[in-house]
Amino acid sequence: MPQITKSVELFEKAKKFIPGGVNSPVRAFKSVGGTPIYMAKGSGAYMTDVDGNTYLDYVGSWGPFILGSMHPRITAALEYTLKNIGTSFGTPIEMEIEIAELLCKIVPSLEMVRMVNSGTEATMSAVRLARGYTGRDKIIKFEGCYHGHGDSFLIKAGSGALTLGAPDSPGVTKGTAMDTLNATYNDIESVKLLVNENKGQVAAIIIEPVAGNTGVIPAQPGFLAALRELCTAEGIVLIFDEVMCGFRVALGGAQSLYGVTPDLTTMGKIIGGGLPVGAFGGKREIMERVAPLGDVYQAGTLSGNPLALTAGLETLKILIDEDPYPELERKAKIIEAGFSDNLKKLGLNYVQNRVGSMSCLFFTGTPVVNYSTAITANVKKHGKYFHSLLDQGIYTAPSQFEAMFISAVHTDEDLEKTIKANYNALVVSEK
């Protein structure tokens, strides 16, 4: 059991000045209990806390660190930008063209792209654009999916909202809530029903093509293609929210993995390389409606700033140069097989979902294919499991409804250590 005196002290102080002591709710350990750990240093697949304890990191800043933290090429590029360029100008810079061109080259659906500063800004902007482009008001999202904290999305949302047991949020007006319809993930009939009940009123369907905020839930074969067909037939903008799965499950994201092309794509996390970046893009005829070319307003003081784009560009260049995806798949398979061996040895029937290097061990024997099956998981057992892993120096998401991320710098020894720790933690979670 690591000694976390300093984290406890800092958390008490933080709660005086910051709501809940954190700048993002899911960090607060609410669903797992205990004190959030204050990290002091990140290096590769490891983080060290303020008390000097080191942890093997499977959160990776909630997805960005597919290459591990403080990658030497990324830190060197940032140092160069700091010394020779600057952190922001509020003017156009050449790097904006470089990253836009590169994203359009990598992601099948992108003909034009706008940089923003977070995934939430990307999804909010994409939905406003879809509404402006179609002249329609309603959107369809999926129960348990999380698209950031924009008002339209905080209706039956996932991630931190689900973790806190507050999938709907006060402060979202009835008018906004009325325009957000919730379908069931992997159930095309539930989507068709909403579309038919709201004929000609649905501007967009927004989906995580790999759901990563209800734990991990893969789209079942044919589901995304059926959504594509429905949107084309009904003149609905299909938005793939690839903030998490983009550049994670494949260089071209889930859309390249599944061969389904959305009208708009939202991105973030990995394309910031650990700095605040988001982006939205897609079909030229839709993107041309974005101000100042078009009339759908969207803006951002620090959008496209040199420091964030440096980290994002270097990350993308490394992903292209090194193609870590086959290795990520090999490593993720080792973890999946190791966990499943442990479950068998202990006579436990818990399910694992995985796409590439994002996965989730659900504390339920029910196959998890949507929100209602995900919430059959025993969050109390997950909490005990989480803390046992933490005591063994393994840092995973402090929520049953988040993903586990493997990076290119997790070694086979790290994986073996994790599998052993998983066995011990499963024993503890059953007590």
Question: Would you name the residues annotated as active-site residues?
Answer: 146, 241, 269
3 vs 24 by CB, closer to ligand KE4: 24
Q: What is the DSSP letter of 215?
A: S
- In the beta sheet, which residues pair with residue 46? 43, 56
Distance of alpha carbon 129 from alpha carbon 187, whole angstroms = 26
Residue 303 makes CB contacts below 8 A (sequence gap 6+) with 114, 115, 116, 117
**CB 346 to ligand KE4: min, Å:** 28
Contact between 399 and 26 under an 8 Å Cβ cutoff? The reply is: yes
CB 352 within 8 A of CB 341: no
Any long-range contacts for 148-153 (C-beta under 8 Å, 24+ apart)?
148/118, 148/119, 148/120, 148/121, 148/122, 148/123, 148/124, 148/243, 149/120, 150/120, 150/123, 150/124, 151/176, 152/124, 152/127, 152/176, 152/179, 152/180, 153/123, 153/180, 153/206
CB of 216 to ligand KE4, least distance (A): 10
Residues forming the site for ligand KE4 (CB under 6 A): 24, 26, 62, 118-120, 123, 146-148, 159-160, 208, 212-213, 241, 243-244, 268, 278, 402
**Nearest CB to ligand KE4, comparing residues 120 and 407:** 120
Q: Residue 141 pairs with which residues in a beta bridge?
A: 182
Q: How far is the CB of 424 from ligand KE4 (least distance, A)?
A: 26
Q: Which CB sits closer to ligand KE4, 243 or 250?
A: 243
Total count of residues recorded for the chain: 431
Please say which residue, 62 or 325, places its beta carbon nearer to ligand KE4: 62
CB of 110 to ligand KE4, least distance (A): 17
Q: Nearest distance from residue 212's CB to ligand KE4, in Å?
A: 6
> What DSSP designation does 207 have?
E
What distances in angstroms separate CA 293 from CA 116, 286, 298, one per listed residue?
Answer: 17, 11, 11
Tell me whether residue 158 or residue 426 sits nearer to ligand KE4 (CB atom).
Answer: 158
For the chain, the C-alpha Rg in angstroms (whole number) is 21
Alpha helices in 288-366, H assignment, sequence order: 306-322, 325-345
Q: Which lies closer to ligand KE4 via its Cβ, residue 28 or residue 230?
A: 28
Query: Minimal distance in Å, beta carbon 404 to ligand KE4?
Result: 12
